[in-house]
Amino acid sequence: MWSSDLKVAEIIAVGSELLLGGRTDTNSVFLADLLAQQGIEVRFKSVVGDSVEDIGVVVKQAACRADLVLLTGGLGPTVDDLTREAVARVTGRPLRQRVQALRAIKASLASRGGTPTSFQLRQAAIPAGARVLPNPAGIAPGFALEWRGCLVIVLPGVPHEAKQLFTEVVLPMLAEKVGLREPADRRILHTFGLTESAVDQRLRSLFTQGKHIRLGVLASPLGVTISLTSWGQSLGGSGSSGPRKAATGQDRLVEKIRRRLHGYIFAEGQDSMEEVIGRTLTARGLTLSLAESCTGGLIVHRLTQVPGSSAYVERGVVCYSNRAKMELLGVKEKDLMNYGAVSSQVAGAMARGIRSRSRTDLGLSVTGIAGPSGGSPQKPVGLVYVGLATGRGCFTQEYRFHGDRSFIKLRASQGALDVVRRWLPVGIAKGK
Amino acid sequence: MWSSDLKVAEIIAVGSELLLGGRTDTNSVFLADLLAQQGIEVRFKSVVGDSVEDIGVVVKQAACRADLVLLTGGLGPTVDDLTREAVARVTGRPLRQRVQALRAIKASLASRGGTPTSFQLRQAAIPAGARVLPNPAGIAPGFALEWRGCLVIVLPGVPHEAKQLFTEVVLPMLAEKVGLREPADRRILHTFGLTESAVDQRLRSLFTQGKHIRLGVLASPLGVTISLTSWGQSLGGSGSSGPRKAATGQDRLVEKIRRRLHGYIFAEGQDSMEEVIGRTLTARGLTLSLAESCTGGLIVHRLTQVPGSSAYVERGVVCYSNRAKMELLGVKEKDLMNYGAVSSQVAGAMARGIRSRSRTDLGLSVTGIAGPSGGSPQKPVGLVYVGLATGRGCFTQEYRFHGDRSFIKLRASQGALDVVRRWLPVGIAKGK
């Protein structure tokens, strides 16, 4: 049907709310990642509003420079859902009520105990000649068609629907049509505790070594991430030795980076800090409880995003007030008076208190000043203390972060989890 | 310097990590919103990787269809920060070390007690003739230049830096150069408790009434949002009566929507559920404590994102285990045995327990099954109970959500806060 040589993809997110605020496009993140695993590189992304004309402009432009164009959004039942119409117009394929689409919509609604309204039935109108892609997680079906030598695929905008439809329907279709291709070799190393400039200085002399490897250094509240990407198809130029050679070069480079950033790398690949800690706690049979002040529940929220976390997260308490710190954790009033709630001493007392009261192996605490108010010259906004109580004693760590309230909360949560990560291998054992 | 008629803007986010996953572009959301307040409409957004060639392609394309092009990202000190070079090349303005930029970089580092490295000094290289925009919140300065009748502005990628530079430096510059323009009239109504189709059915007959008003209906885990936008410049066509007429029409339309969605609208404009609840609690002098199971701390995290929340959030506990529910909330073992942890009875006991132990006016609880495992035919994944204990008694609410773990957590947190919102006006008073 279409060219079997899909190298370059473009993703188009449709929706005025993506332009005007109220929603950010998250679909393109997992789509780009899944495409990279198929060796298909996303070179551009576009966002466009709910306008038949504007959608047409970006689809045309994408078809000029990409082999695969993925649209998400604008397939709903409301009057501002215009993707079907826009794709029909720009490709010159009029909309047709399709039996397969109708059947899929009715089946999907029946499973939720409903029948389609006349507006929902409009979702069965698909451009002529397009392949209907039934939606396994929702109502609106997607579709795929070939246009100007380019494969155009349209997915719903709801993230879990887009993900499931892409994974279960589109990926097998791509594999069947174009065959399996060498995936992009992508390595990601996540660090915490070094600035972007510090990472850059440690690695700079390595950056010229891997010419076929694209390097990226990215700072975020969660730390500095280093990425190395080599594309199977665009490497070497002459036959199959290219990718393999680059892969070996990439292995060596990753090994060198690991040595230069030793101790700061908390995860590799798609792993997050909370997943790494969850796996380590599970493997060692350890349980954890939390006492949060300035992070306000963010740490326990992050830990409990991981399926299965109920096995090691026994409880968490958010103690904003001094009274809650005394009642729930047994922090002494004189420590709060003498050192203040934001102090190494109180962080330690909070960690020991939550550990002993919950009878877990580890107790983790955070106290700090997230701002915007509450700071002083001695204790500025961004000052954060972390306490970790274990059977072998209690460690505390002081951090100073810069940024707004949500930035400081996020960075403090990461800093607290990093204390657990660093002490887990050496200082903590079950029942000690 | 440039055309004083800035109507259409395009935002370009630069960074391979935005294409490949690892980060989503959030800058364009607040930039689009701030531009709309100036009457400037963002019609397109693009995302492009760290490639001099690709950045050039999108800058050229944007300059063809927009009056204002805003780039964010790629101004850092590392080898993959290529925005300066790409803009210099595509516009034909070679990079020059600029005294003003150098001074800004040194001053910014000095305030953090540092001196610039040779790599950081490269950040002072700005295209010839461009206006340097010192960064009030970070190191890398931005810049602005005119090219092909279009104003091109380059900002750093770090969100709080981009926001502060845009607000403090770019907006006054725009106002000074182009004069004050009529802002877009944008109304947003946030609902919870109705599906997108149900909102659409209630409002459909209104959608044809406001021809000059762009309507949007958007579903997310936080509810269904309705937006109405009318653009001052593109309306009416004949002079100043256009916008005013549309604004009056918009007022009438908003009033009709409010009536048709009565009881479901929890906020308007940029307000979030947690801000609305925070303001109401503050105004009535009420305090709140939380007992979370399946939401894992997300509710208290969301509430404490709001500055000043320590005045009404007294404490929160995350009770994953039955033991924690009994110890921290006084839930009876026989209730856990008879009804199960996920039940209306236990939700009520949790809410009463946290309220009485923390001595707050309100106690809010959530218990449910976030999945992916733990469901049964009687109690499927997505079943959630909310309890709200007040001086006038305890209310419980059952919800059934569909989606993955993080979707269910988010929706359950919103559902719980919505229970507070709905009962606050009628059922709850201080000290009763």
Looking up residue B304, the CATH number of its domain turns out to be 3.90.950.20
A22: nearest CB among B112, B188, B307: B188
Burial (CB count <10 Å: 0-12, 13-18, 19+), residue B327: middle
Q: Do residue A210 and residue A359 come from a single domain?
A: no
- DSSP for A380-424? -TTEEEEEEEETTEEEEEEEE--S-HHHHHHHHHHHHHHHHHHHH
Minimum distance, in Å, between the CA of residue A304 and any CA atom of chain B: 6
Average pLDDT, chain A: 88
Q: Do residue B257 and residue B279 come from a single domain?
A: no
Task: Check A44 against B46: CB less than 8 A apart.
Answer: yes
> What's the mean pLDDT in B211-222?
79
For the ranges A111-115, A179-183, B174-178, B369-373, the maximum mean pLDDT occurs at B369-373
pLDDT at B206: 83
Does B3 map to a domain?
no
Interface of A with B in 230-289 (CB under 8 A): none
Looking up residue A225, the CATH number of its domain turns out to be 3.30.70.2860
DSSP code of residue B258 = H
- At residue B185, φ and ψ (nearest 5 deg) are -90, 110
Is residue A196 within 8 angstroms of chain B, CB to CB?
yes
Is residue B49 within 8 angstroms of chain A, CB to CB?
yes
Query: Looking at A268, A301, A328, which one is the last position of a domain?
Result: A268
Residue A21 to residue B34: CA distance in whole angstroms: 10
Residue B400 to residue B407: CA distance in whole angstroms: 12
pLDDT at B244: 55
For the stretch B313-332, pLDDT in tens is 999 999 988 999 999 999 99
> What's the mean pLDDT in A278-300?
96
> What's the mean pLDDT in B251-264?
93
Give the residue with greater pLDDT, B25 vs A253. Answer: A253
Does A1 map to a domain?
no
Counting residues of chain A whose pLDDT is more than 70, the rounded percentage is 90
A17: nearest CB among B204, B227, B298: B227
> What's the mean pLDDT in A178-205?
83
H/E run at residue A353: helix A344-358
What is the C-alpha end-to-end distance of chain A, expressed in Å? 65
What is the C-alpha end-to-end distance of chain B, expressed in Å? 65
Predicted ipTM?
0.79
Residues B230, B213 contacting (CB under 8 angstroms): yes
For the stretch A385-418, pLDDT in tens is 999 999 999 999 999 998 889 899 999 999 999 9
Q: Do residue B165 and residue B206 come from a single domain?
A: no
Rounded to 10°, the helix A52-65/B52-65 angle is: 150
Q: Do residue A90 and residue A223 come from a single domain?
A: no
pLDDT at B181: 60
Residues A24, B26 contacting (CB under 8 angstroms): yes
Q: pTM of the predicted model, to two decimals?
A: 0.81
> What's the mean pLDDT in A290-305?
97
What stretches of B221-348 adopt beta strand conformation (E)?
Answer: 223-230, 265-268, 288-292, 313-319
Residue B177 has pLDDT above 80, yes or no: no
Q: Three-state SS string across A111-140, please?
A: CCCCCCCHHHHHHHEEECCCEEECCCCCCC
pLDDT at A201: 85
Does A390 map to a domain?
yes
Q: Do residue A264 and residue A287 come from a single domain?
A: no
Average pLDDT, chain B: 88
Is residue A228 within 8 angstroms of chain B, CB to CB?
no
pLDDT at B178: 64
Q: Do residue B144 and residue B247 come from a single domain?
A: no
- pLDDT band, residue B426 (cuts 50/70/90): low
- Residue B206: closest C-alpha in chain A: A79
Is residue B409 within 8 angstroms of chain A, CB to CB?
yes
- pLDDT band, residue B239 (cuts 50/70/90): very low
pLDDT at A236: 36
Residues A279, A307 contacting (CB under 8 angstroms): no
Residue B207 has pLDDT above 80, yes or no: no
Minimum distance, in Å, between the CA of residue B44 and any CA atom of chain A: 5
Interface of A with B in 119-148 (CB under 8 A): 119-120
pLDDT at B21: 63
Looking up residue B132, the CATH number of its domain turns out to be 3.40.980.10
Does B392 map to a domain?
yes
Q: Do residue B109 and residue B209 come from a single domain?
A: no
pLDDT at B185: 81
Residue A394 to residue A391: CA distance in whole angstroms: 8
Does A394 map to a domain?
yes
Query: Looking at A123, A146, A178, which one is the last position of a domain?
Result: A178
- pLDDT band, residue A260 (cuts 50/70/90): very high
Residue A379 has pLDDT above 60, yes or no: yes
For the stretch A48-83, pLDDT in tens is 999 999 999 999 999 988 999 999 999 988 878 999
Query: Looking at A268, A293, A318, which one is the last position of a domain?
Result: A268
pLDDT at A179: 59
Q: Do residue B203 and residue B174 come from a single domain?
A: no
- Picking from B180, B222, B161, B140, the residue whose alpha carbon sits closest to that of residue B410 is B222
Minimum distance, in Å, between the CA of residue B31 and any CA atom of chain A: 9
Pairing of strands A185-191, A313-319: unpaired
Does B432 map to a domain?
no
Residue B80 to residue B141: CA distance in whole angstroms: 17
Is residue B204 within 8 angstroms of chain A, CB to CB?
yes
Minimum distance, in Å, between the CA of residue B149 and any CA atom of chain A: 21
Task: Check A117 against B403: CB less than 8 A apart.
Answer: no
Minimum distance, in Å, between the CA of residue A310 and any CA atom of chain B: 6
Does B367 map to a domain?
yes
> What's the mean pLDDT in B236-240?
41
Q: Do residue B99 and residue B192 come from a single domain?
A: no
For the stretch B49-58, pLDDT in tens is 999 999 999 9
Domain span including residue A82: 8-178
pLDDT at B234: 39
- Residue B227: closest C-alpha in chain A: A17
Residue A158 to residue A194: CA distance in whole angstroms: 36
pLDDT at A182: 67
DSSP code of residue B126 = E
Number of domains in chain B: 3
A50: nearest CB among B16, B30, B216: B216
Does B234 map to a domain?
yes
Q: Which of B301, B323, B366, B413 to mutate to test the interface with A (most CBs of A within 10 A)?
A: B301
Residues B195, B219 contacting (CB under 8 angstroms): yes
Residues A84, A91 contacting (CB under 8 angstroms): no
pLDDT at A234: 39
- Residue A200: closest C-alpha in chain B: B78
pLDDT at B112: 74
Is residue A17 within 8 angstroms of chain B, CB to CB?
yes
Q: Do residue A140 and residue A192 come from a single domain?
A: no
Is residue B61 within 8 angstroms of chain A, CB to CB?
yes
Q: Do residue B24 and residue B121 come from a single domain?
A: yes
- pLDDT band, residue B75 (cuts 50/70/90): very high
Give the residue with greater pLDDT, B77 vs A153. Answer: A153
A297: nearest CB among B76, B78, B316: B316
pLDDT at B211: 62
Helices (H), B170-321: 171-178, 196-203, 241-260, 273-284, 298-303
Residues A421, A273 contacting (CB under 8 angstroms): yes
Q: Do residue B218 and residue B366 come from a single domain?
A: no
Residue A1 has pLDDT above 50, yes or no: no
User: HSE on the CB side for B289, CA within 13 Å?
Assistant: 30
For the stretch A217-249, pLDDT in tens is 888 889 999 988 887 643 333 444 445 555 677
pLDDT at A241: 47
> What's the mean pLDDT in A347-360?
97
